Structure formats: C-alpha cells, structure tokens
Amino acid sequence: MRRKTRQIHVGDVAIGGDAPIVVQSMTTTYTRDVESTVAQIHRLEDVGCEIVRVAVPEEEDALAIGEIKKRIHIPLVADIHYKHSLALEVIRQGIDCVRINPGNLINGRKSLEQIVAACKERGIAMRIGVNSGSIDALDQRAQMQRIQVRLRDDGVLERTDPAEARRKEREHLTERMVSKALEYISWCEELDFHEIKVSLKSSSPLTAVEAYRRFSQRSDYPLHLGITEAGTLVTGAVKSSVGLGLLLADGIGDTMRVSLSAEPDEEIPVAYEILRSLELRNRGVTFVSCPSCGRVEIDVIGVANEVEKRLSKVQTPIHVAVMGCVVNGPGESRDADVGLAGGKGRGVIFRKGEVIKTVPED
C-alpha cells in the first residue's frame, strides 16, 4: 500500500496524497540559452515528462526563467545553490518550485527565511534536497575511522569486519541525512511554510533506500525519489530500477527522476517502465518481446526494436507483444492488445486475440 503523504502543488501538478507518482527530468543546457533549453524541454514533453528542472548557477540563468516559462507547457523547477539572491530572482520570474539545500546557502538560515517569505507570497513550492555528498566530510571521516576499528576488552585495537563497517557507515550517514532534512523542514515550519517536498539522494542505491525509508517513518512530507550520479544509460537504468523499485514497492515515493548520463529524454521511458512494472502508472506501451533463441524464424530483435521505436511517443495504455516462434508466440501475442507471432519469414498479427492479418517479415 502506498504511503499517505500530505499533498502539495508544483504549478498545476499535484504531488503526494492520492495523486499519481509524477515523472521528472532535468535539462542539460545552459539555462541562459533560452532557445536550446526550450527545445530540450519540448522533447521532454513529447515523451511524457511532467515536471522539469533547470540549473540556475548565475544571474543570467535566473533572468531567462520568465521567457522559458512562456514557451513550455509543464511546471518548471529552479535548482539553486549557494546564492539565495538567485532563488529570489527566479521567484520574481514566475518559477513553479525552487530546489535548495539550506545547508549550502550562504548565510544559511537567514537566506532560507528570505526564500520562504518569497515562496509564501507567490504560492510557490520548495524542494529540500539533501545528498549524501553534502553531509559534512570531516564528520563522516571521523565516524568512518571509529567504525572501522574497535577497542577490545584487553586494550587491543581490532579492525571491524568490512561488511559490518559498511553497514554501520551507511546507518550513520543516512541518519545524518534524515536529521538534516528534518532540521531544515523545522526551519520552514517555524515560518508557517509547508509546501515542501524532500529528496535524500545518493549514488549508492542502498544508501538512498535506507535514507528514504528512515525519513518516511518520521515525516509525511512528499518524497522526490532519485539515485544521483547513477551513471550511463545501462548502469544508471539498472541502479535506478533497483533503488527506486525497492522504495516504490514499499509504497514510498510521490515523484521521481531517473538520473542518467544521457540525453534527458532517455530518462523518461525508464521511469515509466519502472512504474508500469510495479503497476503504479498505466501509461504508454507495455512492451513484451522474446529474447530470441535457436527456434526463431524471423529477425525478432530487429522487428522488436523497430516496433518499440515507432510506438515510443504513444501515451495510451496498450499491451504490445512481438514473439519470434510458434512455441510461446501465439499464446503471448493473443494476450496482448496487439501482438505479432513470427514464423518462416512471416508474421501473424493479432488484435485482442483475433488474427487480423498475415504479413511478410519485411
């Protein structure tokens, strides 16, 4: 059962409560380059991205937000670090949400108070982001040294088992992440501000999973799920599927991003596939194809890739199957809304279990 969280809004998109789990991405352009940024966001919109984040490292980027907002159709989030003045500017420009880590703002709490005041005035949401890498390095190093050795009763220092040391290190790190997030939330609550979502990211799926689980036991604010710096297309997709899948299966998570070292529009299909696999979102094509073997009598890999490519922008929930032989093909294809079972250079096309056509492989 999905964890019940309070509901907030980012633009016109509801997050938390009984709202569907929202799929997000982030641009890779310089935000000040309005044309490139808008073009990339339009490509994201085409594949089903529901919220998009942009980096705002400089004033030029902040000043571009207003023009970008005019030309896109989904809510826009500004990623702010260090300079609270940039957050204030994007709020003036009409941003839908600001993402900040209060711990790295210059002047910390004082800067946060100004951002919160501006968000309240404009009805804008905030994402509080705590990454494992942002936890104080000196504190972590000292704790790791304590974890890796212990003092026996006879006064001898003994090294801890490496697996046990990693477990304790992860336990300490995730507790620090959650404590920091709760501290930052308390600062906002003291200012009567509650339009908050929270992320607790790490490049380690196990660390992220533990941090999100700990937080979900202690707060009902909606959670933005992600595995940061997950890697290239294959590596990142696997890490995200493991980490986010574990959390989503536990009912944890209200919005998500699959972070990949790839074009942003490649993140979206992976996110929806995770949600479809867990039966949490019924959107787009559920695609089934056989892995191929010595029984196949058509180029099932080529046909499957071509079918998937042609259907990549379909958002209607349909079940499509491409099978390469007579063993599993007819049965699997008959269960699909549309299916193809190949054999001897031909393919039989099914619709809702009924044969509608036999076509040549090419």
Query: Tokens 């099978």, residue?
Result: 323
Assess if residue 174 is contained within a domain: yes
Residues 170 and 206 in one domain: yes
Check which CATH number belongs to the domain holding 346 and give it. Answer: 3.30.413.10
243-259 pLDDT, tens digit per residue, is 999 999 999 999 999 99
Start-end of H helices in 74-193: 84-93, 108-122, 137-148, 162-190
Beta bridge partners of 8: 15
Residues 169 and 200 in one domain: yes
Assess if residue 180 is contained within a domain: yes
Assess if residue 156 is contained within a domain: no
Residues 235 and 108 in one domain: yes
Residues 244 and 321 in one domain: no
Residues 327 and 271 in one domain: no
Q: Mean of the pLDDT values across residues 81-86?
A: 96
Check which CATH number belongs to the domain holding 174 and give it. Answer: 3.20.20.20
Least confident piece of the model among 70-84, 160-174, 254-268: 160-174
- Greatest Cα pair distance, the chain, in angstroms, is 82
91-138 pLDDT, tens digit per residue, is 999 999 999 999 899 998 999 999 999 999 999 999 999 998 877 544
- Mark which of 225, 255, 277 sits at the end of a domain: 277
Residues 312 and 343 in one domain: yes
Is 80 exceeded by the pLDDT of residue 181?
yes
Residues 99 and 229 in one domain: yes
Is 50 exceeded by the pLDDT of residue 1?
yes
Kindly state the percentage of the chain with pLDDT values over 90: 63
Sign (positive or negative) of CA dihedral 102, 19, 308, 291: positive
226-237 pLDDT, tens digit per residue, is 998 878 999 999
Assess if residue 155 is contained within a domain: no
26-74 pLDDT, tens digit per residue, is 999 999 999 999 999 999 999 999 999 999 999 999 999 999 999 999 9
- Mark which of 277, 307, 324 sits at the end of a domain: 277
Assess if residue 323 is contained within a domain: yes
Q: Is 326 helix (H, G, I), strand (E, B) or coil?
A: coil
User: How many domains is the chain partitioned into structurally?
Assistant: 2
Instruction: Specify the pTM.
Output: 0.88
Pairing of strands 157-159, 149-151: antiparallel
Query: What's the rounded Cα separation, in Å, for the pair 356 and 362?
Result: 18
Residues 243 and 334 in one domain: no
Q: Residue 313's domain spans which residues?
A: 285-360
Residues 305 and 332 in one domain: yes
Is 70 exceeded by the pLDDT of residue 76?
yes
Assess if residue 324 is contained within a domain: yes
The amino acid at residue 209 is: V
Residues 212 and 103 in one domain: yes
Residues 116 and 214 in one domain: yes
Assess if residue 157 is contained within a domain: no
Is 80 exceeded by the pLDDT of residue 295?
no
Assess if residue 93 is contained within a domain: yes
Is 70 exceeded by the pLDDT of residue 142?
no
Query: What's the rounded Cα separation, in Å, for the pair 227 and 225?
Result: 7
Q: Are 168 and 159 in contact (CB under 8 A)?
A: no
Residues 189 and 229 in one domain: yes
- Mark which of 250, 277, 304 sits at the end of a domain: 277
